[in-house]
Amino acid sequence: MEIELNNVLGWLLPLLGIVAVVALGNWLLNRAFENQPRNKLYRQLAKIGVLVFAQIGLVLLLPLDNETRGQLLSLFGLVLTAVIALSSTTLVSNAMAGVTLKVIGSFHTGDFIQVGDYFGRVRNKTLLHTEIQSEDRDAITLPNMFIINNPVKVVDQSGTLISAEVSIGYDVHREKVRAAMLRAAEQAQLAEPFTQIIALGNFAIEYKVTGMLADVSTLVSKRTELRAHLIDQLHAASIEIMTPNVMHQRALEGAQIPVPEAVPAPEFDSGKAESIMFDKADLAARMQKIRAHCEALRDEIKKLESEDAADHKMDISWLKHQLSAQESFLAQIESEEQEKAPPA
């Protein structure tokens, strides 16, 4: 009887110990990540790791002979390898993609993103999928592999450009259209608006008005508001909005082209669109040039110091002053960019 009890305890105690360790590990992980919803991915990975090590520990603690224990560990390794191999195109691939997205950190919970034809606001990020809420208020679950394999457009939290396009006939002077479109953008409370001529069609000209929206949380409503103001302003200016199905025909006397009514002198937004659209890329390019200049200054200082520092004392001092000013400027810009960046 005592021998049977020892056998039962030999099998039961390791099992209860492993169960207790797993329960304690899950409790500690839940407590550690309780106030960190963005780190849910790490919590899931940690729980998977706890279960794997618990199974290995159970095999090591059970009262088995060395040969049987080795066979069980080999079997466990083969099963784990087979699972990883068979699931590499689905489960493991999505898990690895989730880790990659977490490391890259290109978007966070609450950001507006567009992946392929799907647009919405990120509601949840997990190890295997990312959940976004669409404009219909519906939840869309995107596998992480789908996000990795497709370009992701992330709306910048510091502000984004919104635009609207219309087609206007050739008989309306472009400056009249431009003035009406800019008034519409100002009524929609967009900053630094500008217009573009997108295409010269067979029967109409395609125009586009764009402005900066600082509060991206109103992105969807502001797009509608901009289009509504655009319609109102064009109608108020007696400008007809064309469609691809409208073909405007007019009988001309001889070869005369209709002369447009009097309009203000033409104006152009030269360089304004590029400075707004590509501000961060332009800043990165300028910072790269400054870094290259700093490196050239360091090389020049080293060269002068290696020759004869006493003879080039004034030159070295001036070069160091320039280097210090450039490095201070770079540090200030990097600090400002880090303050604007959303929290990880």
Q: Check residue 70 and give its pLDDT.
A: 77
Q: Check residue 39 and give its pLDDT.
A: 66
Which range is least confidently modeled, 5-19, 51-65, 237-251? 5-19
Q: Check residue 246 and give its pLDDT.
A: 63
CA 27, CA 23: separation in Å to the nearest integer? 6
Mean pLDDT to the nearest integer, 100-111:
84
Average pLDDT over the chain, rounded to whole?
Answer: 78
Rg (CA), the chain: 33
CA 8, CA 94: separation in Å to the nearest integer? 42
Are residues 179 and 234 in contact, defined by beta-carbon separation less than 8 angstroms? Answer: no
Name 205's Cβ contacts closer than 8 Å, sequence gap at least 6.
167, 168, 169, 170, 174, 177, 197, 199
Structure-model confidence comparison of residues 49 and 258, the more confident one: 49
Query: What 3-state DSSP class applies to 160?
Result: strand
CA 307, CA 315: separation in Å to the nearest integer? 12
Q: Check residue 180 and give its pLDDT.
A: 94
Which range is least confidently modeled, 32-36, 138-142, 220-224? 32-36
Q: Which residues pair with 153 in a beta bridge?
A: 114
User: What is the tens place of the pLDDT at every residue in 242-298?
Assistant: 766 666 666 656 545 555 555 555 555 555 555 565 566 667 767 778 888 888 888
List helix spans (H) across the chain.
2-32, 40-61, 66-86, 91-104, 144-148, 174-187, 219-236, 272-277, 279-308, 313-340
Structure-model confidence comparison of residues 254 and 139, the more confident one: 139
Asked if pLDDT for residue 139 goes beyond 70, the answer is: yes
At 209, list the tokens: 């008005």
Question: What's the half-sphere exposure (Cβ side, CA atoms, 13 Å) at 314?
Answer: 0
Of the spans 1-15, 151-165, 178-192, which averages the highest pLDDT?
A: 178-192
Which range is least confidently modeled, 23-32, 36-45, 68-77? 36-45
Task: For residue 335, report the phi and psi dihedrals to the nearest 5 degrees.
Answer: -65, -40
Structure-model confidence comparison of residues 203 and 284, the more confident one: 203
User: What is the tens place of the pLDDT at every residue in 54-86?
Assistant: 777 777 777 777 777 777 778 777 777 776 676
Mean pLDDT to the nearest integer, 125-137:
85
Are residues 229 and 188 in contact, defined by beta-carbon separation less than 8 angstroms? Answer: yes
Q: Check residue 232 and give its pLDDT.
A: 92
Read off the pLDDT band of 146 (50, 70, 90).
very high
Q: Check residue 255 and give its pLDDT.
A: 47
* Tokens 């400027």, located at residue: 329
Are residues 130 and 95 in contact, defined by beta-carbon separation less than 8 angstroms? Answer: no
Are residues 184 and 209 in contact, defined by beta-carbon separation less than 8 angstroms? Answer: yes
CA 270, CA 264: separation in Å to the nearest integer? 17
Query: What 3-state DSSP class applies to 209?
Result: strand
